[in-house]
Amino acid sequence: MIVICEECGKKYRIDAEKIKGKSARFKCKSCNHVITVTKPEPRPPAPSPPPPRVDEAAAEIGEERPPAPKKKKKEKPAKRKKEKKAALKTKGLGLRSKMLLLFLLIPVVFIAAAGALYIWQLDNLTSLLTTESSSVVTRMAENAIAENARSVAKQCGLYIAAYPNLKKENYNYDEDFKRVAVQKVGLTGYTALYELPDSNGIWRTWAHANPKIIGIDMSKLKKPLGKSFPGFWKVFSGVKAGKESKGYYNWQDADGGFRDKFMVCTPIKGTRYIIASTTYLDEFTRPIKLMETRARKLSLNTRNLTLAILAATIILIGVIVSLYGAGLTGRIKSLTDIADRISVGELDEEIEIKSKDEIGALGEAISRMQESIRLSIERLRRRR
């Protein structure tokens, strides 16, 4: 039979057959507590499990045998602890994964979407402003050239009416008439006076900034103008039945490059003459083009800066969430490990509480539970 000391919990194996009388007493070798043993009633023999590892009493009451050596083959608490840890690892997403999902992935998606929408709207706004500005200035330039042609046509009509004897062959050599008929348009443009085709179908110019083309057949300019001639001739000869003609054509500069020119041809009422007003359109739109270039450059710099800020924000959020999540899950895992050890009877583990938040409160609660279990076991041993 097994006897347990009520004070220290030490176990003794007693041979009930050697107890003389109904009871016997002996002193505990550990705490000197006097243990009273009552002889049990005889029972029929029954199979019993292997005897526990306890200290056996001697053949006579009060004599203790040396403790049996402990076997270290099976460590059930450690095995149970490993099983519980494995069970905890197979419960799905961990706290750190959930934090990364909720506080990093989802915000990053929304931030990236907002940044992309902002950049897209900025590009659209820049394109709209520059395109509309360029279109408005182009229309204003076209109207200005047309108004210039109409104004010069009226002035020439008045001059011709005032001097009916002035011959057309002398228009370019009469200084007063030339000042009226050949005026500056923009920076490099000018106006010119030419006549509707004669009976032979020949178009001739009578007032021009270039005296070499005065009185010649204008169709002969096809060779020197080269690729510029078809567009020029279409606008030049488009005035018929008193209608105004206008349009664009490519003109070759002295450096060999081609630029767009805009020309408006307005008939002089009551005569066979037409005023042509022409100039490079980029002389009017160049400031807008420069502004468009600066706007696009500013838009590009803003987009790059926005992308850099978004990337830095995402990286910062990722680092903060990762570090905080690692610290938080580390403390929770530590408390989980301690609670697991308590569950298998390891009550001497010290709990370090460093934080003052909810995790710290949980650690204090586990520490109080550990102390309560220790005291309960000690009281149970005393009662036995």
| pLDDT tens, N- to C-terminus, the chain (384 residues) | 777 877 776 778 787 777 777 788 888 887 777 888 787 766 655 555 555 444 443 333 444 444 544 444 444 455 554 555 544 454 556 666 777 777 777 777 888 888 788 788 877 877 777 777 778 888 888 999 999 999 999 999 999 999 999 999 999 999 999 999 999 998 889 999 999 999 899 999 999 999 999 999 999 988 888 888 999 999 999 997 778 999 999 887 767 778 889 999 999 999 999 999 999 988 877 777 777 788 788 888 888 888 888 888 888 888 887 888 788 788 888 888 888 888 877 777 777 777 777 878 888 888 888 888 888 888 888 887
Note the Cα 332 to chain centre separation in Å: 32
pLDDT at 89: 52
Tell me which DSSP letter residue 220 carries.
Answer: G
Quick one: tokens of 245? 């003609």
3-state secondary structure of 36: strand
What type of residue is 289? K
The answer to whether 213 and 225 are in contact (CB under 8 A) is no
Tell me, what's the pLDDT at 143?
Answer: 92
Sign, Cα dihedral of 42, 43, 45, 49: negative
- What lies within 8 Å, CB to CB, of 382 at 6+ separation is 6, 7
> Judging by DSSP bridges, how do beta strands 258-267 and 273-280 pair with one another?
antiparallel
Read off the pTM.
Answer: 0.51
User: How many Cβ atoms are within 10 Å of 325's Cβ, its own excluded?
Assistant: 19
Closest among 1, 21, 20 to 11, alpha carbons compared: 1
CB 236 within 8 A of CB 263: yes
Q: Residue 3 has what pLDDT?
A: 79
What's the rounded Cα separation, in Å, for the pair 367 and 353? 9
Complete domains list, the chain, with CATH: 2-56 (no CATH), 123-290 (3.30.450.20)
